[in-house]
Amino acid sequence: MYSPRFHSISENDRQKLTLLVDGVSVEAREGDTLLTALMRHDGWVRTHEFDAGSRAGFCAMGACQDCWVTLADGQRLRACTTPVRSGMAIVRKPAINV
């Protein structure tokens, strides 16, 4: 089945970081945005409120607001403009509303 991915073209001496995505440990690199980390991991960012599908951002520059994610402590962040920090725990809850 199709699953999009970001492909890295340079690095790889960047420092590694670990974050938790839906309870699973995921490796990212220093300097990645949350969007990049998720798109290199498994290709989706959030469940949309009003359609069954998942979303993975669109503009990557903080305009479309389609990549807001929730941390385990309830905090909301825009994935494309937030650098990953070690230990971040993201919860991509399933769709909830009508």
Partner 1 sequence: MQCDVCIIGGGLVGCSTALHLVRAGKSVVLVERDRIGAHASGANFGGVRRHGRNVLELPLSTRAFDIWRNMGTLVGNDCEFMPTGHLKIARSEAEMAVLEQWSSFGAEHGIPVVLHDRTSLRANFPWLNTSSFGASFCPGDGHANPRLAAPAFALRAGAEGAVVIQGDGATTVEDARDEFEVTLHSRRRIRAAVLVNAAGAWGRHFARYYGDEAPVEAVAPQMFVSEPVPYIIDAVLGMVTGGLYLRQIPRGNVIFGGGRGILDPNCHRSSPSDRVFAETVGLAGDLVPSLRDIAVIRSWTGVEGHCEDGLPILGPSPRRANLYHAFGFSGHGFQMAPAVGAVLSELIARGFSETDISALSPRRFTGAKSSILAESEI
Partner 2 sequence: MRAAETLLRAGLSAALIDEAPLAGGQIYRQPPESLRRPARQLYGSEARKALALHESFSRLRTSIDYRPETLVWGAREKRLLLSGPAGNTELAFDKVILATGAMDRIVPVPGWTLPGVYSLGGAQVVLKGQACLIGKRPVFIGTGPLLYLVAYQYCKAGAEPAAIVDTSDFTAQIGALPRLLSQPATLLRGIWYNAALVARRVPVFRSAKPQKIEIRGRQLVVTFKRNGKSFEIGGDAVGMGWGLKPETQLAEILGCAFSFHAGSRWHLPRCDAMGRSSTEHVYIAGDASGIRGADAAEAAGELAAFAVLEDLGHTVPQTRRQRLLAHLARAERFRSGLERAFPYQVPELAGDTVLCRCENVTVEEVRAAISSWQISELNQLKALTRCGMGRCQGRLCGSAAMEVLAAETGVEISDVGSIRGQIPLKPLIGARFQRKAAP
The answer to whether 11 contacts partner 2 (rule: CB under 8 A) is yes
- Select from 1, 13, 50, 51 the one that contacts partner 1 (CB under 8 A): 50
Q: Any residues with CB less than 8 A from the CB of 13 and at least 6 apart, and which?
A: none
Pairing of strands 89-91, 76-78: unpaired
- Select from 47, 54, 71, 91 the one that contacts partner 2 (CB under 8 A): 54
What are the angstrom distances between the C-alpha of 20 and each of 41, 47, 54?
Answer: 11, 17, 19
The answer to whether 16 contacts partner 2 (rule: CB under 8 A) is no
Q: Report the C-alpha gap between 9 and 28 in whole angstroms.
A: 15
In whole angstroms, the minimum distance from the beta carbon of 23 to partner 2 comes to 20
In whole angstroms, the minimum distance from the beta carbon of 87 to partner 2 comes to 18
- Select from 20, 41, 44, 89 the one that contacts partner 2 (CB under 8 A): 44
Q: Residue length, the chain?
A: 98
The answer to whether 53 contacts partner 1 (rule: CB under 8 A) is no
What region, left, alpha or beta, does residue 31 occupy, with left being phi > 0 and alpha being psi -120 to 50 degrees?
A: left
Can you give the binding site for partner 1, defined by CB under 8 A? 49-50, 68, 74-76, 93, 96-98
